[in-house]
Amino acid sequence: MKVFKHYQTKKFMEPKKTVLLGMSGGVDSSIAALLLKKKGYNVIGAFMRNFSDIKNPLTGECNWIEERKMAQKIALLLNIPLITLNFEKQFKKYVIDYIFKSYKNGLTPNPDILCNQTIKFPLLWKEAEKIKADYIATGHYARIKKTKQGYQLFAGKDKTKDQSYFLSKLEQSDLRHTLFPLGNLTKSEIRKIAEKNNFPNWDKKGTAGICFVGKINMKSFLKKKIKEKQGKILDTNNNIIGHHSGTFYYTIGQRIGMEITSKKTNERLYVANKDEKTNTIIVVPENHPLLKKQMVKLENFHRINEKEAIPSNVKARIRHLGQLHKGQLIKKGNKYQFVFKKPINAIAEGQFLAIYSKDKLIGSGEMRY
């Protein structure tokens, strides 16, 4: 197989080491396998089976079966072994149950961050240790740098695919044995390499939705465990303008449509507040002051490298690939909060705020009001 010459000369690892690579069947992890092998690593692919509840409507098979078939094709092309790891029990306990619990408590969780923190990286490394591998690797668009003070985590070169936000809860113990072969590449470069090497998934669409679950109707998903509880939808004058099926099914900033029964308004309305005690939702027009927040508290704030001082000039992101907002990270005792330079629209409690200094990720915490 031929790979562009300038990719072959990049130096980012030690040769003749064993790597356990998470392979999903997608083009990113496939090219990660190719690049690692070309760099001299002994690559072992690992397909993670985590969730069997979502099935292909045409075949009736679990979605992961189709994905594993593609991973097997790539492993065969590269002449590397592929093992299957069943983490369904752990995934249900640490991710799926977390989703239901968070929504039931009125929060909007980010399961992808938790998935990386509790499933992908620690469990993959646990398996790597069993086979005496030196590293683990994934197809994430992010970069790791080693310094005298420890390891740093940086955004990927491709700003349209950067996945550092999802990795914001990783520990030093994770970073020291992890490789991100795609960190200095763009998605278009990845696809060109895949097409040049005749990979069958070179033009395969990227995954969307929840980690290992995919794109789902969240309300329908939540109804499996959270019963409906009809309540009132109010405007800012406490007028009843509609009814909802439960505050836990909605998130701050979400547009409300069919639930509005009042004929007095034709405006687009958005959730500005949820009151779980009274089971009411307050909605407002777009850009209303109630949708904006200038300060958030950060629960369980995690720093990527505790030994490094936090720069004064930082920016924050409230969602994956979201805009970087200027502001100030403030520490009061053991608590952190972030004050935005300008009020920010549609901040949902339970989501993560990630702090950056240029391209370097400083840390993250769950947002509260």
Are β-strands 42-49 and 142-147 bridged in parallel, bridged antiparallel, or unpaired?
Answer: unpaired
Q: What angle do CA 178, 183, 186 make, to 5 degrees?
A: 150
Pairwise CA distance, residues 273 & 152, whole Å: 37
Using CA atoms, how far residue 235 sits from 28, 79, 254, 255, in Å, is 46, 62, 15, 14
Interacting residues of 279 by C-beta distance below 8 A, sequence separation 6+: 229, 230, 231, 232, 246, 247
Phi/psi for 137 (5° steps) reads -150, 155
Using CA atoms, how far residue 188 sits from 160, 180, 196, 280, in Å, is 11, 17, 12, 46
Pairwise CA distance, residues 245 & 335, whole Å: 35
Give the chain's radius of gyration (CA, Å). Answer: 22
Tell me, what amino acid is at 142?
A
Annotated active-site residue in 23, 193, 211, 269:
211
Token pair in block for residue 154: 């940086």
62 catalytically annotated: no
Annotated active-site residue in 23, 48, 115, 144:
115
Pairwise CA distance, residues 56 & 70, whole Å: 15
Pairwise CA distance, residues 114 & 139, whole Å: 17
Interacting residues of 145 by C-beta distance below 8 A, sequence separation 6+: 151, 152, 154
- Spell out the long-range contacts of 144-152 with Cβ–Cβ below 8 A and sequence spacing 24 or more: 144/175, 144/178, 144/179, 144/180, 144/183, 146/176, 149/305, 149/307, 149/308, 150/305, 150/307, 150/308, 151/175, 151/176, 151/304, 151/305, 152/304, 152/305, 152/308, 152/360
CA 109 remoteness from chain centre: 11
Q: Which is it for the CA torsion 67, 176, 128, 167, positive or negative?
A: negative
- Residues noted as catalytic: 115, 211
